[in-house]
Structure 1
Amino acid sequence: MEAIARSVPVGVVGAGTMGAGIAQVAAAAGHEVRVYDAADGAAAAAVEAIYQRLARAVDKGRLLAEEAEDAATRLHAVAALEDLAGCGLVIEAVVEDLEVKRALFAGLEAVCGPDAVLATNTSSLSVDAIAGELAQAGRVAGLHFFNPAPVLPLVEVVSGAHTDAAVADLLVATAAAWGKTPVRAASTPGFIVNRVARPFYGEAFRLLESGRVDAATVDALLCESGGFRMGAFELADLIGHDVNLAVSRSVWEAFGRDPRFTPSVLQERLVADGRLGRKSGGGIYAADAPRPEPATADPTEANLGHWLGSGDGDGPLTRAGAAGRPSGTVHWRIDSDEVSLRPTDGRTAAQHTGGGPRTVVLVDLALDYASATRVGIAAPEHAPKEHVEAAVGFLQGLGYVVTVLPDLPGLVVARTVATLAATAADAVDSGVATADDVDTAMRLGTSYPRGPYEWGAALGWNWVTGVLDALAAAEDAGRYRVSRQLRERAETDDGWREDDEVADRDDLARRASEAMWAADTASRALGMTIEQVSPGTAVVSMRVRPDMVNGHGVCHGGLVFALADSAFAVAGNTHNRRTVAQGADITFVAPAREGDRLLAVAHEKFRGGRSGICDVTVYRDDDRAGRATIALFRGRSREIPGTLVPDEEET
């Protein structure tokens, strides 16, 4: 289908901000544009305002002077609806009142030719309801621009039950010819953007209403971790709470007061109190005061022992150098001896029982852990303070600003993304739009960092439904109910399963190290023995023999290095991945003598991508004097192809 020819005049009814913006777009695309408004002088004022915007665009170098002049000559304010006769396309942009629009379209049908296409810019009203009483309802469709229309690229082309397919095709082609990105939507409440976006605001207000998280913290996590351009409260203040609430109420009412779309009582109170946002001097935030600071953990150097990452992507460990790995995933865990860092799956930290002796500390979702600047964490209410501080210190050491949250189901970003993804999937399953059009609409219409359907699929629909189920159990079963189609999608999802139930990682580490050690004749020839092994850790001993002493009467430094290197090798191979050394540094701090029993204790500090870092401390173990450090070693490793034990034995 071809777009409407440039020679065909376009009419715009309604000379407010949106109507004027649409008129500017059509004129810039080469059409004669006739602007009508029922208020005296409004159309002329709108045309004059467009002239001024075009002039500013020339001054800023965004438009050539000739182009601006040509567009200006094509703009005309008209005094009567009858002056729109002869227009091939008329776009309505009047007040969002169904009866007003119905009356207007009845008038347009009377004055416009039978081949003219009549489009409504409504953002929330039913196209069918607007066109229902017209003789030619098939020529009516939605053409929903986003404000400011000359700037934002998205246009929703909305088909009602009676809209002719050729009319929708014509509008799609015309929007594209005007430099816009059209998406197709069925005439259902909220179309795409206003429907799918509801949880972005709804979950933020729900968190604020809980009294456990403040607005600045919610916004900071959504932006600095979730990758959203603006936080929910900042954006609602900008839009205006009256406008935002009106859309929420419209969608809620249209869906029969479905609890998924229940408006916020707190937002209703803001509107009732006249706190509408920036335009009224303040809403959630005061317009003339500095923004409150989000909750931020104080700097700490607490860091309990070594930390070992595992899983697909290694989450926050991507910050430490695992370039090219998927880093916005929920398929990882990072353990120290006392703490297990895990991505939230919707459950609270207190509900996680798979950490064994470790304290489970949950990490909120991030769009990309490699580039996120802030992360939110939560621990069980009675978790040891030093364990929480250790998690904070570890994450701060990776460069994150850390927010310690209450132990809430779904935390902040995860619950927001899960509900957005579920709402996007519901729109697709309900036939509102294709998945591609839903994602395109949300990226362009709301500047989301990722399309919510694509995001949900990437995270795994089983993860999405898991978060919803946890929220339903803890808060509101109706609000977070999972649709049958989404449940089926999750059941066929090949997503990652959390490692809680894998009880034999230590056994795999033992078998892998035994296989490696059996082939290491050099270490065994020096009398070395593996004393202890677990994933990422190893303790190897050696007794200093007479033939190991140098001319100064102390153990040869090369043999101390060999002991440290052997412990490094055992620790690095405990994951059943063959690793080889890339480099090492050793510092000698004290001598060892004949008869001394030496212990090399190796801890992996980092493992991600194909690289690893391991620290080894070599001790002189004396039954009477205790342990004394004699050497410090840091090794760098890389993985090579192959495993140490057969794949079928892996768990």
Structure 2
Amino acid sequence: MTSRQFSIETIGIVGTGAMGRGIAQIAALSGLSVRLYDTNPEAVGAARDYLADTFAKLAAKGKLEPARVTAALACVTGAAAIADLAGCDLVVEAIVEKLDVKRTLFRELETVVGGNCVLASNTSSLSITSIAAGCQDPSRVVGFHFFNPVPLMKVVEVIDGLRGDPAAGDALMNLARRMGHTPVRAKDMPGFIVNHAGRGMNTEGLRVAGEGVASFVDIDRIMREQAGFRLGPFELLDLTALDVSHPVMESIYHQFYEEPRFTPSPITGTRLAGGLIGRKTGEGFYQYIDGKQQVEAEAAAPTELPKRVWISNRYPEAREAVLQIVAKSGVTLDEGATPAADSLIVVTPFGHDATTATVDENLDASRVVAIDALFPLAGAQRRTLMTTPATTRAARDAGHALFASDNVPVTVIRDSTGFVAQRVVATIVNIGCDIAQKQIASPLDIDLAVTLGLGYPRGPLALGDALGAKAILTILRNIFSVLEDPRYRPSPWLARRAQLGLPLTQTDAADADETGANTNAKDPR
């Protein structure tokens, strides 16, 4: 295939909903000529009025100079018919997510635009190769996936179809930078990067809730305050709304031919059917009054400390972290090889549930509590405590009092492989590793896409490196050993790098560039 030269100065946008308007906004502000088309003629005028109002508000806040507002509005014109898009260097469709509708549009566009006009789809879930298959010239069809709201979400995925001309994708990468966005390049695979990587948080959070391990509120608190995410899985699902996110979960699951890692949950299907969609309807996993999330305050922690504590030495580093808390609390440490009859027993499993940890060390299950030590216990904003099915109320409350004795909130959950944060984070890292393993995108682009597109504190690969690839591998293998569920099988990318002591952000050494530098991804924060 001979690559062409694509120069983009005039953009046609088909579809003037939220996505089309957002793309038009950033394009006009970058000085590009924009032609808006919609099958509803009134929608074009409404979109232009919306842009004028948005620009005026930005100018009133001092974020735009009046002269720039005037220039940007002058860049935007309406198109009464598809034929009016002739002369465009790029046409972006932001219409309904139906393959046949998009194919019909692109076939019509081919009869109108010139041979060097790029045809781009803003699809979030459909195959670019499938869309392009309806065209006479599929080489110029590219995915150009923005996120809502476009002006604020500063990342865009550029997706190459199997018959795509790399030069067309290159042109969109350059255009995205001109419009002030960070482009990431992806192969045409279900979910591309962001929606693919996002399965870890949502599907695993739903899995934890579905097992009755913890409530929606507690899972969100753990993921925010212990694991450091801006939003927990259920807050995120309420924000995106189930009428959007549930079909995406089902679509990706089926497009990957029922891959266990992406198995949807009946929880979202049932809630969607019941109209509990999220923030925009006032009720989802939470209720919203005047847009404010309603959450009951946590109950006060118990205050009666245990008389003495015995701590497992299965994971020495975790034991040292627990010892620091015990020392501050003033509770007597039981230093015997086995627990005394009146000691609270603390275990620190990685991936295993409290029951397995108890049986492995032949402990008295009625006195066992497990603490999640994957994240630092000292200086924590929250800790997670787990009980066995046999743990007594007295032992549970004593453990709660101990780990809250320095005024750190403690969430107590039922027995679970990998607690909450361990299993969710390990799943996020594992899926990110699989995206790298399949060469859907580079390690750098994977982490960039996830931090910018999902707002995670780190990308999945950088997160795995921060917590330790060996620790993540241990968690996944131990979860798998208990549940025998293939969703927890470790990615080869993770397993090999953990065994060799290499960063997850590092590509194969043989893929280093000619200067010998490796294309390691850096934490993009």
| Alignment partner, residue 501 of structure 1 | none
The one-letter code matched in structure 1 to 2:351 is G
Alignment of 1:103-122 (within 5 A): 103-122=104-123
Contact 1:201/1:233 (<8 A) preserved: yes
Q: Write the distance in 2 (CA, Å) between the matches of 1:318 and 1:437.
A: 39
Task: Tell me what 2:98 maps to.
Answer: 97
Distance (whole Å) between structure 1 residues aligned to residue 171 and residue 226 of structure 2:
41
Q: Distance in 1 between matches of 2:203 and 2:273?
A: 18
Matched residues in 1 for 2:361 and 2:189: separation?
Answer: 46
Call closer, same or farther: CA 1:466–1:485 in 2, change over 3 Å: same
| TM alignment of 1:492-571, pairs within 5 A | 492-493=500-501
Alignment of 1:258 with 2:266, yes or no, is no
Residues in 1 aligned to 2:433 and 2:64: alpha-carbon distance in whole angstroms: 40
Counterpart of 2:388 in structure 1 is: 380
The answer as to 2:483 corresponding to 1:455 is no
Q: What is the alpha-carbon distance in structure 2 between the residues aligned to residue 320 and residue 175 of structure 1?
A: 53
Greater RCO between the two (CA within 8 Å, min separation 6)?
A: 2
Which residue number in structure 1 is paired with residue 131 of structure 2?
A: 130
Q: Residue 295 of structure 1 contacts residue 403 of structure 1 at CA under 8 Å; is this kept in 2?
A: no
| Contact map agreement 1:342 1:363 (CA 8 A) in 2 | yes
Bigger proportion of residues as helix: 2
Paired position in structure 2 for 1:239? 240
Alpha carbons 2:119, 2:140 under 8 Å: kept: yes
- CA gap of 1:48–1:396, structure 2 versus 1, over 3 A, is same
Residue correspondence of structure 1 range 153-232 to structure 2 within 5 A: 153-232=154-233
Paired position in structure 2 for 1:349 = 354
* 1:206-230 superposed Cα distances (whole Å, 9 cap, x missing partner): 2222234211111111111111111
Find the aligned partners of 1:149 and 1:315 in 2 and give their Cα distance. Answer: 44
1:302–1:386 CA contact under 8 A, matched in 2 = no
Offset, 1:256: 0.8
Which residue is equivalent to 2:149?
A: 148
> What's the CA shift string for 1:61-97, capped at 9, x where partnerless?
2222222221111111211111111111111111111
| Overall identity of the aligned pairs, in % | 36
Under a length normalisation based on structure 1, what TM-score does the superposition of the two structures give?
Answer: 0.68
Contact 1:226 1:366 in 2 (8 A): no
The one-letter amino acid paired with 1:166 is: A
Residues 1:298 and 2:297 are matched in the alignment: no
Shift of 1:168: 1.6
CA–CA separation in structure 2 for the residues paired with 1:335 and 1:131: 68
Letter in 2 for 1:26: A
Q: 1:295 to 1:209 in 2, by over 3 A?
A: farther
Contact 2:132 2:141 in 1 (8 A): yes
1:259: Cα distance to partner? 1.9
Report the residue type matching 1:454 in the other structure. Answer: A
TM-score (norm 2): 0.84
2:450 to 442, 450, 462: 442
Question: Amino acid of the residue matched to residue 352 of structure 2?
Answer: R
Query: Cα distance 1:10–1:494, how it changes in 2: closer, same or farther (>3 A)?
Result: closer
Does the CA contact (< 8 Å) of 2:301 and 2:401 recur in 1?
no
Mark the structure with the bigger radius of gyration: 1
Asked if the contact 1:146/1:154 (under 8 Å) is kept, the reply is: yes
Runs of 5+ consecutive residues of structure 2 not aligned to the other structure: 336-342, 504-525
1:61 alignment partner in structure 2 = 62
Cα deviation, residue 52, structure 1 = 0.7
Other-structure match for 1:562: none
Residue of structure 2 equivalent to 1:533 = none
> What is the letter of the counterpart of residue 132 of structure 1?
A
Compute the RMSD of aligned alpha carbons.
Answer: 3.1
Q: Does structure 1 retain, via aligned residues, the 8 Å contact 2:277–2:284?
A: yes
* Matching residue's letter, 2:45: A
Tell which deviates more after alignment, 235-244 or 418-427: 235-244
Query: Which amino acid in 2 is paired with 1:347?
Result: H
Whole-angstrom CA distance in 1 between matches of 2:67 and 2:485: 60
In structure 2, C-alpha distance between the alignment counterparts of 1:292 and 1:28, rounded to whole Å: 40
Distance 1:317 1:91 in 2: 59
Deviations 1:394-428 (A, max 9, x none): 33233310111112111111111011111000110
Asked if the contact 1:127/1:158 (under 8 Å) is kept, the reply is: yes
Hey, what does 2:317 align to over in structure 1? 311
1:11–1:33 CA contact under 8 A, matched in 2: yes
Output the CA distance in 2 between the equivalents of 1:272 and 1:393: 41
Instruction: Please tell me whether the aligned partners of residues 91 and 121 of structure 1 are also in contact (alpha carbons under 8 angstroms).
Output: yes
Distance 1:195 1:123 in 2: 10
Distance 1:339 1:13, change over 3 A: same
Deviations 1:248-278 (A, max 9, x none): 1110111112222111111111112222222
Q: Where is the strand percentage greater, Structure 1 or Structure 2?
A: 1
> How many aligned residue pairs are there?
482
Distance (whole Å) between structure 2 residues aligned to residue 367 and residue 101 of structure 1: 46
Instruction: Report if aligned partners of 1:88, 1:116 keep a CA contact under 8 Å in 2.
Output: yes
